[in-house]
Amino acid sequence: MTKKSSRPISVVTGGAGFLGSHLTDRLLEEGHDVIVIDNFITGSPHNLEHLAENIHLKFIRHDVTEYIFVPGPVHYVWHFASPASPIDYLELPIPTLKVGSLGTHNALGLAREKKAAFLLASTSETYGDPLIHPQTEDYWGNVNPVGPRGVYDEAKRFAEAMTMAYHTFHGMDTKIVRIFNTYGPRMRLRDGRVVPTFIGQALTNQSLTIFGDGSQTRSFCYVSDLIDGIYRLMMSEYHHPVNIGNPREMTIKEFGEAILKLIETTSAMEFKPLPIDDPKVRQPDITRAKTILKWEPKIDFEEGIQETIHYFRSKI
């Protein structure tokens, strides 16, 4: 990275993760110098290896639950550090809580010190197992704080509260994005989320594991669409939470059937008991994103899922 530059400087925590690495790509395309901070607890250096020779990228291996030091000016802080899949946060409950609390505090502190804009990568999981459908940003959620998913849900809810406190008390320029189910290349094959799980199982002729009767719904957004919405949000003047996701809703069983049609496989469906506190429905109301950001998803499911299948074929 050049020492003196007129380019905006962005810090991306969790920048070696699935979403963080795609955000890093977008920022470089937009002309930013990017400083990625990651400790590889769930991220991977492979997600950034295509940028190894890019002079506008700097990498710092660091746990953001410890004090963050970045020399020189910073214009934007994008806080994406966190385990984000059920397998991860069930295996890493304390680190998940710490990165949502201490990590968010440190990232906000960095942004405040540098007088930088700050964006929190929050989640639709703040809505818990929702009692309204689709979910609007004004809905406060239905979360079990002591259930197995509570470590992730409440970490993100706390992170939102702290981000808004820094906005109101310190007058900082902060943004909050609530990310709905996102898929695409660079997801980890065994991260426990349904897209890589079903694709990996189908490619290896294993049974597709469906929890419950498969009637629970999800709404899948392709990663490039999501990153576009997030970038627009950071560049906006809006400070309250914004849903970014694809409102096209489908049941888990319908998703499994689609995978079986797209991949030549001997796989069938295998039904298992529904996990505790697993959300029954998930669909974003994106009126706010459409109105304020002029954003809506462009990549249709068939196109995005084919790209994702192609990626996973190369990994198996």
Helix H or strand E encompassing 13 = strand 9-13
Closest among 168, 169, 212 to 194, alpha carbons compared: 212
**Which domain range does residue 81 map to?**
9-183+221-247+284-298
Note the pLDDT of residue 2.
Answer: 47
pLDDT of 111 strictly over 60? yes
The residues annotated with a catalytic role in the active site are 152
Assess whether the previous peptide bond of 185 is cis (omega < 30° from 0).
no
In a domain, 77, yes or no: yes
Per residue in 150-192, pLDDT (tens digit) is: 999 999 999 999 999 999 999 999 999 999 999 999 999 888 8
In a domain, 3, yes or no: no
Q: Stretch 50-79: mean pLDDT, rounded? A: 98
Note the pLDDT of residue 190.
Answer: 86
> Hey, what's the torsion of the CAs at 192, 196, 201, 203, to 10 degrees?
-160
In a domain, 259, yes or no: no
Note the pLDDT of residue 276.
Answer: 84
In a domain, 270, yes or no: no
SS3 state at 36 = strand
| The model's pTM | 0.96
Report the CATH number at residue 164. Answer: 3.40.50.720
- The residue behind tokens 């409102």 is 247
Note the pLDDT of residue 92.
Answer: 96
